[in-house]
Structure 1
Amino acid sequence: MSEALTLERLRSLTPLNVLSEQQWRELRRQLVPQPVLAGQSLFRRGDRARLTYYLLSGELLLEDAAGTRQRLVAGAEASCHPLSPGLPRLQDALALTDASVLVLDSDALNRLVTWRLAHQDLLLELGQLQDEPEWLERLLDSPLFAKVPPANVRTMLARLQSVELPAGTEVLREGEAGDCCYFLKRGRVEVIRGAGTERQVLAELELGACFGEEALLADCPRNATVTVVEDAQVLRLARQDFVALLKAPVVNEIGLGEAARLLAAGAQWLDVRLQGEYERAHAAQALHMPLQLLRLKARLLDKARTYLCYCDSGKRSASAVFLLSQLGFSCYALREGLDALPAVQRDGLVCESGAGYLARSGGRIERSH
């Protein structure tokens, strides 16, 4: 975000002021002031571009078809609202001085505002029932829930079962079958893989985090142990409710045609299979990050980039998309995996062998040898 566009300035803009900081982060690539030179036209009457404009600095002249003029100065109350918001535009906008404007995708902004207001109604409703809305607000601010309809959230909350756990309790055990997932409501828990000298702490989860979902998504045994570090309260969600209420809206699946369009726009394949599977054959320029290491290594990915996850059956890639969605990444899973592709398409996609690409700090990608 540009230094000139402060949180205080964002909070002064309507309806941006109703969004959470997490939602602002979702818009981060658009939250950059755009320069406009004196005498330059910003838009004209009749324009139908689905863009929302705000004046951040300088002065603009707005003129309608009747010749009525309005001089707009940055910082004035009128500049806190979108410029000529209706479509088609009813005014011409001309820069009287050098200026800067904020330009946002209207559809993305409207989606976030609608989501936020719908969930505020839910928070108000539950607050009246004294259901600890502060914790729930932290849960709903998770990027995961940006994709979940409010009706699903209401149903999910009604079906959660509260469990109190003392420090030292193993909530989940690596290798066991999974029939539910959990949300952390209070306390501290760690995600651990292996035992003895092979023991590795993968993460300490934040309040509101979902865990145990990977076994449900991939229909496989638990791939890690989750241990309570500090007395905790967790909320249990059964498998069938998880699949219906969370997986369906969160795990976006695409075919090869849509994948090609996204790749052309800068997306990258993310191969979540094992190293041996990757080295045998992988997509051109695919980044290798096996599912069992994804929680640990996701910090190396670039949140400004879209990732297209694939595996053989589609189950591991669905798990990867769900996990990355919790962390705020834009990602999709290849529908039903490589196995569902005709042989000619599969061979055309996974056409490289041997070592490939590695993620480094800050999202930098390097060729491995």
Structure 2
Amino acid sequence: MDRPGCVLALPHVCRRGRMTDTVAPTLFAHYVPLNALRPESQADLARKSAIVTAGKGEYLFRIGDPADKALFVLAGEVQLTDAQNRTLSVIRAGTPAAAHRLAHQSPRTVNAHCASEVRALAVDASLLDVMLTWDQTGSFEVGELTPSGDGGDDWMTRLLQMRTFQLVPPANLQAMFMRMQEVTVEAGSVVVKQGDDGDYFYVVMSGRCIVTREQPNQKPVRLAELESGACFGEEALIADGKRNATITALTRCKLMRLSKSDFQTLLNQPLSRRIGYAEAQKLVAAGKARWLDVRLPSEFQNGALPGALNLPLYILRMKLAQLDQNTTWIVCCDTGRRSSVAVFVLTQKGYDAYVLDGGMPAAP
């Protein structure tokens, strides 16, 4: 098996490129958005990272290469050039620009030419994106998920009253209810364990569940209680990541669950509501929509779409009142993964929202 971060994943790096086998998580403190990850996430990601060394005149990557590694300049100077080898910008180690990953778009839209010998931190880009999404939704994954009402309504009726499910084609809803499996759990049983892989989407038919979040060297934090009609587990499936909270039955519960594959086909794909950059730009220019950037403030400050509102994913549920429900929101992030989670949350709360397909465009 190839070693994570090996030169094979960077085809245009100097062929004599040297790498270290281990990366200290403490290194992440100086780079955005690595410094926003939880310590345990940093440790996991560091094990799948490497330090790459390339000589003067070599390329870290060329236009058209896949951006499977997020690269951060540790030492030296990198010139970002266009197809005609014209210099677009210069990234020097130790400067504010070097605190951010090099040209994240995939495939690469610029060349990264080493103007001197360069040492770069190479991080698994897909894993980084999953961890960012996981960490930023963790504390608030199920906040305010419980639908309004006195608890006596039929769970299916309450589910269909949520705007999220009103956007799903009727045929998909029918298939969803047919494919759902009923499960009964006793009081005290763990339904979803923090850190486990996402496998099912759940709806509470009857009973009550408690949501807790575990923190290193601390007691579990109680986040919410879920009652009849509440749903949970969708964010780990959308982000294709780990569970970021534990769900435990407070009373004897009857649950309906939908498998990950059925969730993706019947719910997530119809609800993703993707829009291309050109079309989105026209809507924004016409005053018919606004950009909503769900990246970290430090990422937003390093480059954002004109007029965009920054509302990081990790506080989105808490700050929904800031968003005008009469506005169409086009949600953006680097790759679209965090945006997909945000759009699911927004539509669940009655907002008109779209994912910017492909993530943020390359800077001109």
Distance apart, 1:314 and its partner CA = 1.0
Matching residue of 2:179:
159
Q: Per-residue CA shift, 1:138-157, capped at 9, x if unaligned?
A: 11111111111221111111
Do structure 1's residue 220 and structure 2's residue 241 form an aligned pair? Answer: yes
Q: The residue matched to 1:243 in structure 2 has which SS?
A: helix
Do structure 1's residue 136 and structure 2's residue 156 form an aligned pair? Answer: yes
Distance apart, 1:171 and its partner CA = 2.1
Do structure 1's residue 267 and structure 2's residue 289 form an aligned pair? Answer: yes
Q: Per-residue CA shift, 1:274-323, capped at 9, x if unaligned?
A: 34322332223322222233333334433222211111121111111112
CA distance in 2, matches of 1:191, 1:288: 28
Look up the equivalent residue of 2:363 and give its one-letter code: D
Do structure 1's residue 278 and structure 2's residue 300 form an aligned pair? Answer: yes
CA distance in 2, matches of 1:254, 1:330: 13
CA contact 2:347–2:353 (8 Å) conserved in 1: yes
Do structure 1's residue 250 and structure 2's residue 250 form an aligned pair? Answer: no
Matching residue of 1:321:
343
Q: Per-residue CA shift, 1:125-179, capped at 9, x if unaligned?
A: xxxxxxx993211111111111112211111111111122233333222222112
Look up the equivalent residue of 1:225 and give its one-letter code: T
Counterparts of residues 7-156 of structure 1 (less than 5 Å): 134-156=154-176
Do structure 1's residue 347 and structure 2's residue 363 form an aligned pair? Answer: yes
Q: Per-residue CA shift, 1:313-346, capped at 9, x if unaligned?
A: 21111111112111111100001212xx4xxxx2
TM-score under structure 1 length normalisation: 0.52
Residue 262 to residue 252, structure 1, CA distance change in 2 (3 Å):
same
Look up the equivalent residue of 2:260 and give its one-letter code: R
Look up the equivalent residue of 1:295 and give its one-letter code: R
Matching residue of 1:309:
331
Structure with greater contact order relative to length (CA < 8 Å, sep ≥ 6): 2
Bigger Rg, structure 1 or 2: 1
Residue 256 to residue 164, structure 1, CA distance change in 2 (3 Å):
same
CA contact 1:189–1:227 (8 Å) conserved in 2: yes
Matching residue of 1:337:
359
Q: Per-residue CA shift, 1:27-70, capped at 9, x if unaligned?
A: xxxxxxxxxxxxxxxxxxxxxxxxxxxxxxxxxxxxxxxxxxxx
Q: Per-residue CA shift, 1:168-216, capped at 9, x if unaligned?
A: 3332222221122111211223444343658554444453233111111
CA contact 1:202–1:296 (8 Å) conserved in 2: no
Residue 272 to residue 281, structure 1, CA distance change in 2 (3 Å):
same
Look up the equivalent residue of 1:244 and give its one-letter code: T
RMSD: 2.5
Q: The residue matched to 1:295 in structure 2 has which SS?
A: coil
Q: Decide which of 184, 196, 204 is 2:204's aligned counterpart.
A: 184
Moved over 6 A (4+): none
Paired-residue identity, %: 43
Matching residue of 1:8:
none
CA distance in 1, matches of 2:297, 2:195: 20
CA distance in 1, matches of 2:233, 2:255: 12
CA contact 1:219–1:315 (8 Å) conserved in 2: no
Q: Per-residue CA shift, 1:212-237, capped at 9, x if unaligned?
A: 11111111212233333343222111
CA distance in 2, matches of 1:299, 1:191: 23
CA distance in 2, matches of 1:236, 1:142: 17
CA distance in 1, matches of 2:221, 2:320: 16
- Bigger fraction of residues in helix: 1
Matching residue of 2:191:
171
CA contact 1:203–1:296 (8 Å) conserved in 2: no
**Unaligned stretches of 5+ residues in structure 2:** 1-151
Which of 213-222 and 238-247 deviates more? 213-222
